[in-house]
Chain A
Amino acid sequence: MQFLGRVGTLLLGLSLVLAMCLPVGAVEPIKIGVLGPMSFTQGEGHWNGASMAADEINGAGGVKVAGVMRPIKLIKVDTNEFLSIPDATNAVEMAVSRYNVDFLVGGFRTEAVQVMQDIAMDAKKIFIGCGAAHPELCTRVTKDYDRYKYWFRLTPINSSYLGKVDFILLGTAAAIMKKTLGIKKIKVAVVAEKAAWADPIVNISQKLLPAKMGMEVVGVWRPSPVAKDCTAELAAIQRSGAHIVFTTFSSSVGLTFAKQMGELKVPAVAVGINVESQKSGFWEATGGKGNYVETINTYARVAITPKTIPFYDKYVKLFKQAPNYTAGTYDALYILKEAVEKAGSVNSDKVLPFLEKTDYIDTAGRVVFDKSHDVTWGPGYVTAIGTQWQDGEIKCVWPYHWEKVFYEGTVPFKLPPWVVGYWKNKK
């Protein structure tokens, strides 16, 4: 009997231990695959944004799915898409089949994201894109809804809208130059890296600037996306007498160009798209020569929504750098949380209708997905912003009372002093 008593006590103890462990083990986490080139700034943005949101959500108890609070578990998926698209394919395959993720967020290069998109769609996994801008990614949804309905783009706005903002920034800078320097006709040098996504901007520039915007295109330069030296282009641009250099850069050439343009004090303003200048490290990498470069951007320390500044400050505090647009994974997780809680399930087909009805104020604006599952652009929605480097800080300079849109903290666009001096002396 004594022996049986001891066995009984042991069994009771064991069952108590199991009972203590079971509730934790029984709640299955929601697995979210974060896709990005993790050795590069863009991938760091993906991961930082997602991990910040996951920590916050888990800290608040998790995601409520059919009455059960489930934590989020992030799976870091290094796509290495800058160096190898096959690597990206393998990484997503692994996330879907081996780690059996419930959702996917991230991606950067359009060519790689298209492949990742196909894999995710085949596996019927909801994939919120936070990096690639090509419209085709969303056009696929309208063309073949049944196959591509699980795809959504949150950030950045698509390249057609980016183009619109691009020309608005150019027009604004031209108006300021005309007013400040009394220039009658603005001369523009179009400089775009030789890449497929930049071709439409170059073509439209050549037609639109003289015909609709009253500007003269003095030349078009197409350096390689990875050009290590742009001094020849800059010498030619200066000879052309351009007042504005309209840039379209997404690669390292943007850094080289801005650095050398500042070093040579070319008497022109750089306006347009320069992805490198969106990064905190731009100032250090150009040795401060990138001062006054303006670019389209997603984040700056301005109140786009009440969430922007707290997000921005916390991000800078945690990661010692400003968020770039791939950090939109932060909002992607909150949007997913909202849809999952409404659906009461992590099943893609159940979450999908709620995701389609998203109307959510995130850190970059009001997110409403259109029929192609693309984020809506325009006043009252996500607008994107224009930022300019001003003495070591990224400042938001647009929208500056555009279509009645003004974000608290936005400052006026500044002309570089050497540009002002040069053109005033020319008169």
Chain B
Amino acid sequence: MILDIIIDGLIKGSVYALLAIGFSLVLGVARIINIAHTALYMTAAYLIFVGTKLMGLPAPLAMVASIVLTVILGLLIYNFFIKPIQEHEAAVLIATIAVAMMIQEVFLMIFGGHYLGVNPLIDGYATILGVKVTYQHLLALGLALVVLVATRMFLQKTRLGLAIRSTAQDREVANLMGMNVTRVAMGTMAVSVGMAAITGAIVVPLVTVEPTMWMHPLIMMLAIVVLGGLGSIEGSFVGAFILGFAESLVVFLVPMGSFLKDSVALSIMILVLLIRPEGLFGVSFEEER
């Protein structure tokens, strides 16, 4: 049973990490609470459905096209809905909720409430230490780890990464040092939406594509970000795996209460906040500028 929990928790955690890190990045850098983040993840999933099932494109091509189109949509949202009110965090929060609802309604209008599915890139399953895992889940885990490492490298080794990190540390000082923080914010938004789109592309064969599929990941993602510390990338990474393992533990230890897995994950978040209000890796509120 322990092996089951470890493998299941790892897979869940990696998918959550992808979503949470993208969200955390843009929150840390530009102070943008983008509630539409998971709606963009859903957009990528729908675009892959359209590409593979309706247009008959090869899956990898549909994935790339969906990621590019989702990033473009994300940047349009940034320009028209976020940028003009960027200085008002609460307004951004509300505007992005509205954007997410708009995206949901558009998909509901086009595709109805039908549950749709996309075929896995690789069919079948592997048995690892007696635990059956589908190849698609393994692919998701592998790709998630690659993307996470690539993001880390990008942030550490590139000029834009350096700019993003400095802006995340202190936006005002970065601005005074001559950095165009608006452009950095836009770049970060592109990376962040790209991560949401990649997550959508990776997990689409594992989930049911429908117009409300963005809501559950949103709740989990917010919980992870708060648990890890607002805007902390390391915190989001650790938080994602904590909640992933918590979910698996609930299903295996309390099968009658498997519907409680989300509640337990959220309770862990509250518990951590009670003990450490700034989250696991966050800056304490007193120290915040």
B: interface residue count bin: 35 or more
- Does B120 interact with chain A (Cβ within 8 Å)? yes
Task: Say whether A229 contacts B12, CB under 8 Å.
Answer: yes
In the complex with contacts A235-B8, A259-B117, A222-B259 CB distance below 8 A: yes
Report if B177 contacts A (CB, 8 A): no
Pick the interface stretch among B77-85, B149-157, B248-256: B248-256
Taking the closest CB of chain B, its distance from the CB of A150, in whole angstroms, is: 29
- Give the contact stretch, choosing among B91-99, B162-170, B184-192, B204-212: B204-212
Task: Give the distance in Å from the alpha carbon of A228 to the alpha carbon of B252 in the complex.
Answer: 17
A39 interface residue, CB < 8 Å from B?
yes
Query: Looking at the complex, which one of B112, B136, B251 makes contact with A39 (CB distance below 8 Å)?
Result: B112
Contact A231 B137 (CB under 8 A): yes
Which partner residue on chain B sits nearest A266 by CB separation? B132
- Find out whether the CB atom of B120 lies under 8 angstroms from the CB atom of A263: yes
**In this assembly, does B289 line the interface, its C-beta being within 8 Å of a C-beta of chain A?**
no
Q: Given the interface contacts A40-B112, A255-B117, A281-B114, does A232 sit within 8 Å of B248 by beta carbon?
A: yes
Contact residues of A between 193 and 238, Cβ < 8 Å to B: 193-194, 219-224, 226-229, 231-233, 235-236, 238
A394 to chain B, nearest CB (A): 16
Nearest residue (CB) in A for B7 is A235
Contacts of A227 in B (CB 8 A): 258-259
- Per-residue A-contact encoding for B106-137, CB less than 8 Å = 1, 0 else: 00110011111111100001000001111011
The answer to whether B206 touches A229, judged by C-beta atoms less than 8 angstroms apart, is yes
- Tell me whether A228 and B208 are in contact in the complex, defined as CB-CB below 8 angstroms, given that A222-B258, A235-B131 are known contacts: yes
B113 touches A39 (CB 8 A): yes
Q: Take A236-B252, A252-B210 as given contacts and tell me if A37 and B113 are in contact as well, using a CB distance cutoff of 8 Å.
A: yes
Q: Is A287 located at the chain interface by the 8 A CB criterion?
A: yes
A84 to chain B, nearest CB (A): 12
B178 CB–A CB distance under 8 Å: no
Among residues 213 to 229 in chain B, which have CB atoms less than 8 Å away from a CB atom of chain A? 213, 216
Contact between B115 and A255 (Cβ–Cβ < 8 Å)? yes
Residue B262 interfacial (CB < 8 Å): yes
Q: Is B4 an interface residue (CB 8 A)?
A: yes
* Complex-state Cα separation, A227 to B250, whole angstroms: 14
Give per-residue flags for B15-53: 1 if the beta carbon is below 8 A from chain A beta carbons, else 0: 000000000000000000000000000000000000001
Q: A44-B112, A221-B251, A285-B117 are in contact. List 18 more A-B contacts (CB 8 A).
A: A219-B255, A220-B256, A221-B255, A222-B259, A224-B261, A226-B216, A232-B251, A235-B132, A252-B210, A256-B208, A259-B208, A260-B134, A263-B125, A276-B115, A284-B116, A286-B117, A287-B118, A287-B120
- Where the two chains meet, the residues of A that have a C-beta atom closer than 8 Å to any C-beta of B are 37, 39-41, 44, 82, 193-194, 219-224, 226-229, 231-233, 235-236, 238-239, 252, 255-256, 259-260, 263-266, 276, 281, 284-287
